[in-house]
């Protein structure tokens, strides 16, 4: 036998499970502490996905026990209330790599490849020799199936033992209707801190506010993150691939496997964004007859078709126009739920969240969401806490090499009120910054799903979202600073002037003069205070906006406020009337506000849950600055109207509970001083409450 034959005889195929057994670090099992987090992560992700697909509110329980501290043997038990798995499916789901239902579906999901939970079974067996115990109960069967699952890595096949059925009861002795429980032992180490099981579950609870999560650590301490909303995430639908995201080999395979009788049928039926007209134009641009069967295409024709799909081949110098893919394959967390998730885990005084409209990169729909929480008990002299997520899954490692971190570092935070050495890197301040990417095709840097790979389009979209959020923080800090200065001035005047007046009156033996007019002239400010509170009795959110004229001139304003209309909120108890300017923006044109006069606007928001809406942004139109409100930027309204127009053109309905036409209001003018001679102002009791409420 020659040397070539000898070398060839020594070659053999390696099973995928055997490969990962020798390269377990690819799956996140590269250190004892990280291995435990990876195991918890894979189990929790599967539970959340199963509950959401079955449209059930998830209730999860995770327990970690130390079995042998000297040998670092730990037992992990996770339980959920999901639909469970039929007995026949358990061994495939837990004992076969690359077995799953999501790999070929183009939609947002946590897991996709079918590697995660089988990797946990493999690691458990590799480090302790123990199988993983699985207990599953489905609603249609009276008892739960139990089995010990192992993995034959050479065959990528499950090994099972001790299978049977049993009655499954909870701690109170009540029968479990449906759910899944996983118990496994592995070589791992439990630790506290930023990279820990506790931190992973805390972050998971932020972006999954519909989940109830309980964690029992090895010391027996119970940590509970309760459910803060009963609303499940939007159900995602699978979509067809988009021509812009197709590769040559993929297109060749699709053509070879096609049974369609003509190219136009093939293009319309297998791709999203392709209309009858664009299907014909793609054939024209690639010089392919529309009546040709896809299966009969030659390699050069397939390449030509791909070039037309990518816009490289044109008609009359213009690329074929394709529609964007549908975005019902995405399920963003949404602004209010991000706010609720952040507020239940981090103490702060200010939260701003933002969900960008969906975008498309290389034919793959994606959506960026950001949140910033500021103040409270967070340290002011340390770097901000970065919370990174992809498809509702926390990213715990490789923060510095992640696209989402780079997007945060690319922003000049000094102009928004946070410290940042040299205008680069992570800012410092009492804040936490959240960035979430929802996508049908998240590009990770490794199989362990720890960080996002570089992508110019996604990077720019994330940077824009973060900058927009930063502008909101800047406005908040400026408003807070102005209110503090005004409050200090107001309190100083009210303390000193009455004392001076009283002493002067005693010396001159004259009555104490009326000071309200003088106080008003000295203050020379129009002040707004907003209170947003939950009404337990009515189950509505009550909003009160107080406007007080501390100037010597009459003023005229249009007051505008935001409300979460796109989330189903309805404006109620609005006795002052007004009109809708755009989606989520309401306006009142006020009567003339005389010196010393106070106007109060009251309304309620129906259709929300407690904690959904905790702060109302107030804007104004008028020539005199209003402390506590922001001058309306007309470009802001125009952007909202443009979004409304785009949504209507896309066939997406907009709430029409109120008139959407723009208000035609003339720019208010101040009334001349000579209309009021020596104004007498009666300062109301309790006027200092204008600065209360932490606004």
User: Which one of 441, 474, 507 terminates a domain?
Assistant: 474
Q: Provide the pLDDT for residue 51.
A: 93
Report pLDDT digits (tens) over 124-179. Answer: 888 888 899 999 999 999 999 999 998 887 777 788 889 899 999 888 888 999 99
Token pair listed for 556: 């005229």
DSSP secondary structure string for all residues of 594-661: -TT-EEEEEEEEES--TTS-----EEEESSS-EETSEE--HHHHHHHHHHHHHHHHTT-----SS--S
- CB-based contact 449:406 (threshold 8 Å): no
Helix, strand, or coil (residue 372): strand
Q: Provide the pLDDT for residue 160.
A: 87
CATH code, 256: 1.10.8.50
- How far is residue 637's CA from residue 49's CA, in Å, rounded to a whole number? 38
Clarify whether residues 218 and 249 are in a common domain.
Answer: no
Own/partner contacts of 628-634, CB < 8 Å, gap of 24 or more, are 628/479, 628/482, 628/483, 628/527, 628/528, 628/529, 628/530, 628/695, 629/479, 629/528, 629/559, 630/475, 630/479, 632/558, 632/560
Contacts of 7 (CB under 8 A, 6+ apart): none
Of 584, 640, 659, 583, which Cα lies nearest the Cα of 357? 640
Clarify whether residues 383 and 465 are in a common domain.
Answer: yes
Report pLDDT digits (tens) over 31-70. Answer: 888 889 888 998 998 899 889 989 999 999 999 999 988 8
According to DSSP, the β-strands at 179-187 and 212-216 are: unpaired
User: What distance, in Å, lies between the first and last C-alpha atoms of the chain?
Assistant: 87
Of 527, 689, 539, 695, which Cα lies nearest the Cα of 617? 695
Clarify whether residues 295 and 373 are in a common domain.
Answer: no
DSSP secondary structure string for all residues of 64-82: EEEEETTTTEEEEEEEE-S
Report pLDDT digits (tens) over 192-229. Answer: 877 899 999 999 999 999 999 999 999 999 999 999 88
Clarify whether residues 135 and 175 are in a common domain.
Answer: yes
Local confidence band at 102 (pLDDT 50, 70, 90 cut-offs):
low
Clarify whether residues 300 and 402 are in a common domain.
Answer: no
Clarify whether residues 315 and 216 are in a common domain.
Answer: no
User: Which one of 302, 319, 336 terminates a domain?
Assistant: 319
Local confidence band at 10 (pLDDT 50, 70, 90 cut-offs):
low
- Residue 491 burial (CB count, 10 A): 12
pTM (2 d.p.)? 0.75
Give 293 or 645, the one with higher predicted confidence: 293
- How far is residue 475's CA from residue 685's CA, in Å, rounded to a whole number? 30
Token pair listed for 416: 């928004």
Residue 605 has pLDDT above 80, yes or no: yes
Per the structure, how many domains does the chain have?
4
Q: Provide the pLDDT for residue 510.
A: 87
Residue 403 has pLDDT above 90, yes or no: yes
What residue numbers bound the domain in which 664 lies?
515-691
Clarify whether residues 387 and 522 are in a common domain.
Answer: no
Clarify whether residues 307 and 368 are in a common domain.
Answer: no
- CB-based contact 575:601 (threshold 8 Å): no
Backbone angles phi, psi at 25, to 5 degrees: -65, -25
- CB-based contact 132:163 (threshold 8 Å): no
DSSP secondary structure string for all residues of 660-687: -SPP--PPP-PPPGGGSSS----PPTTG
Local confidence band at 97 (pLDDT 50, 70, 90 cut-offs):
low
Is 203 part of a structural domain of the chain? yes
Clarify whether residues 545 and 665 are in a common domain.
Answer: yes
Instruction: Give ∠ CA 669-674-678 in degrees, rounded to 5.
Output: 120
Is 156 part of a structural domain of the chain? yes
Give 103 or 57, the one with higher predicted confidence: 57
Per the prediction, the chain carries an average pLDDT of 83
- How far is residue 617's CA from residue 471's CA, in Å, rounded to a whole number? 13
In this structure, the chain runs to a length of 695
Q: Provide the pLDDT for residue 159.
A: 86
CATH code, 398: 3.30.230.10
Clarify whether residues 217 and 288 are in a common domain.
Answer: no
Clarify whether residues 407 and 554 are in a common domain.
Answer: no
Is 678 part of a structural domain of the chain? yes
CATH code, 520: 2.60.40.290
- How far is residue 163's CA from residue 90's CA, in Å, rounded to a whole number? 11
Q: Provide the pLDDT for residue 214.
A: 96
Q: Provide the pLDDT for residue 612.
A: 79
Residue 686 has pLDDT above 60, yes or no: no
Clarify whether residues 95 and 176 are in a common domain.
Answer: yes
DSSP secondary structure string for all residues of 297-319: --HHHHHHHHHHHTTSSEETTEE
Question: Mean per-residue pLDDT for 462-480?
Answer: 88
Local confidence band at 654 (pLDDT 50, 70, 90 cut-offs):
very low
CATH code, 65: 3.30.565.10
- CB-based contact 103:112 (threshold 8 Å): yes
Local confidence band at 24 (pLDDT 50, 70, 90 cut-offs):
low
User: Which one of 319, 334, 361 terminates a domain?
Assistant: 319
Is 486 part of a structural domain of the chain? no
Report pLDDT digits (tens) over 376-390. Answer: 778 888 999 999 999
Q: Provide the pLDDT for residue 685.
A: 38
Q: Provide the pLDDT for residue 658.
A: 38
- How far is residue 139's CA from residue 81's CA, in Å, rounded to a whole number? 11
CA 456 vs CA 301, 370, 432: distances in Å: 31, 18, 24
Is 484 part of a structural domain of the chain? no
Q: Provide the pLDDT for residue 28.
A: 66
- Residue 428 burial (CB count, 10 A): 17
Is 495 part of a structural domain of the chain? no
Is 335 part of a structural domain of the chain? no
- How far is residue 279's CA from residue 283's CA, in Å, rounded to a whole number? 6
Token pair listed for 96: 């076969």
- How far is residue 530's CA from residue 690's CA, in Å, rounded to a whole number? 9
Report pLDDT digits (tens) over 217-272. Answer: 999 999 999 998 888 888 888 889 899 888 898 899 999 999 999 999 999 999 99
Q: How far is CA 223 from the centre of its chain?
A: 23
Q: Provide the pLDDT for residue 650.
A: 54
Q: Provide the pLDDT for residue 111.
A: 63
Residue 487 has pLDDT above 60, yes or no: yes
Is 182 part of a structural domain of the chain? yes
Local confidence band at 684 (pLDDT 50, 70, 90 cut-offs):
very low
Q: Provide the pLDDT for residue 437.
A: 94
Q: Provide the pLDDT for residue 265.
A: 92
Local confidence band at 366 (pLDDT 50, 70, 90 cut-offs):
very high
- How far is residue 546's CA from residue 404's CA, in Å, rounded to a whole number? 40
According to DSSP, the β-strands at 626-627 and 525-535 are: parallel
Q: Which residue has the tokens 């926390």?
A: 394
């Amino acid at each position: 036998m020659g040397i070539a034959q000898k070398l060839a005889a020594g070659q053999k195929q390696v099973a995928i499970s055997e490969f990962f057994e020798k390269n377990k670090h690819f799956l996140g099992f590269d250190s004892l502490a990280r291995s435990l987090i990876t195991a918890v992560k894979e189990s929790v992700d599967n539970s959340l996905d199963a509950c959401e697909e079955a449209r059930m509110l998830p209730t999860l329980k995770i327990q970690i026990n130390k079995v042998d501290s000297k040998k670092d043997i730990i037992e992990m038990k996770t339980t959920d209330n999901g639909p469970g798995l039929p007995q026949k499916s358990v061994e495939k789901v837990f004992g076969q790599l690359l077995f799953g239902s999501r790999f070929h579906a183009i939609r947002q999901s946590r897991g996709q490849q079918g590697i995660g939970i089988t990797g946990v079974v493999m690691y458990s067996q590799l480090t302790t020799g123990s199988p993983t115990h699985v207990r599953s109960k489905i609603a249609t069967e009276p008892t739960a199936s139990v089995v010990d699952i192992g993995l034959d890595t050479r065959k990528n096949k499950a090994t099972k033992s001790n299978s049977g059925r049993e009655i499954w009861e909870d701690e109170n002795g009540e029968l479990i209707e449906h759910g899944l429980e996983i118990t496994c032992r592995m070589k791992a180490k439990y630790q506290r801190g930023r990279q820990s099981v506790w931190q992973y579950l805390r972050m998971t609870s932020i972006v999954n506010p519909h989940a109830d999560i309980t964690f029992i650590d090895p010391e027996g301490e119970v940590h509970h993150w309760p459910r803060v909303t009963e609303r499940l995430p939007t159900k995602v639908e699978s979509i067809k691939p988009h021509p812009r995201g197709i590769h040559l080999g993929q297109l060749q395979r699709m053509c070879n496997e096609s049974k369609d009788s003509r190219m136009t049928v093939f293009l319309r039926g297998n791709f999203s964004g392709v209309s009858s007209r664009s299907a014909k134009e793609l054939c024209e641009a690639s010089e392919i007859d529309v009546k040709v069967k896809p299966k009969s295409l030659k390699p050069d024709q397939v390449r030509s078709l791909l070039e037309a799909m990518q816009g490289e081949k044109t008609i009359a110098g213009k690329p074929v126009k394709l529609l964007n893919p549908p975005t019902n394959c995405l399920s963003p967390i949404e602004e209010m739920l991000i706010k609720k998730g952040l507020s239940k885990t981090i103490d702060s005084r200010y939260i701003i969240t933002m969900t960008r409209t969906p975008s498309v990169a290389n034919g793959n729909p994606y959506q960026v969401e950001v949140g910033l929480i500021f103040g409270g008990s967070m340290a002011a002299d340390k770097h901000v806490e970065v919370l990174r997520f992809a498809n509702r899954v926390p990213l715990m490692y490789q923060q510095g090499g992640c696209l989402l971190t780079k997007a945060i570092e690319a922003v000049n935070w000094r102009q928004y009120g946070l410290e940042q050495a040299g205008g680069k890197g992570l800012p410092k301040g009492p804040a936490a910054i959240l960035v979430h990417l929802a996508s049908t095709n998240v590009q990770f840097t490794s199989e362990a799903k720890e960080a996002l790979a570089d992508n110019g389009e996604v990077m720019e979209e994330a940077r824009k979202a973060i900058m927009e959020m930063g502008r909101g923080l800047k406005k908040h800090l400026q408003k807070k600073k102005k209110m503090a200065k005004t409050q200090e001035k107001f309190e100083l005047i009210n303390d000193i002037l009455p004392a001076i007046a009283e002493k002067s009156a005693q010396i001159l033996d004259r009555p104490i003069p009326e000071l309200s007019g003088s106080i008003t002239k000295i203050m020379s400010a129009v002040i707004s205070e907003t209170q947003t509170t939950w009404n337990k009795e009515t189950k509505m959110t009550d909003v009160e906006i107080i406007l007080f004229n501390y100037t010597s001139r009459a003023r005229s304003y249009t007051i505008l406020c935001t409300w979460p209309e796109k989330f189903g909120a309805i404006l109620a108890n609005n006795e002052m009337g007004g009109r809708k300017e755009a989606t989520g923006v309401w306006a009142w044109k006020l009567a003339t506000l005389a010196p010393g006069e106070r106007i109060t606007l009251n309304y309620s928001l129906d259709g929300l849950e407690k904690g959904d809406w905790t702060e109302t942004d107030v804007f104004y139109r008028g020539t005199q600055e209003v402390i506590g409100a922001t001058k309306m930027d007309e470009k802001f309204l125009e952007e909202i109207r443009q979004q409304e127009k785009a949504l209507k053109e896309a066939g997406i309905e907009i709430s029409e509970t109120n008139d959407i036409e723009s208000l035609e209001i003339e720019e208010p003018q101040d009334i001349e001083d000579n209309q009021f001679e020596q104004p007498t102002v009666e300062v109301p009791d309790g006027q200092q409450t204008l600065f209360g409420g932490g606004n």
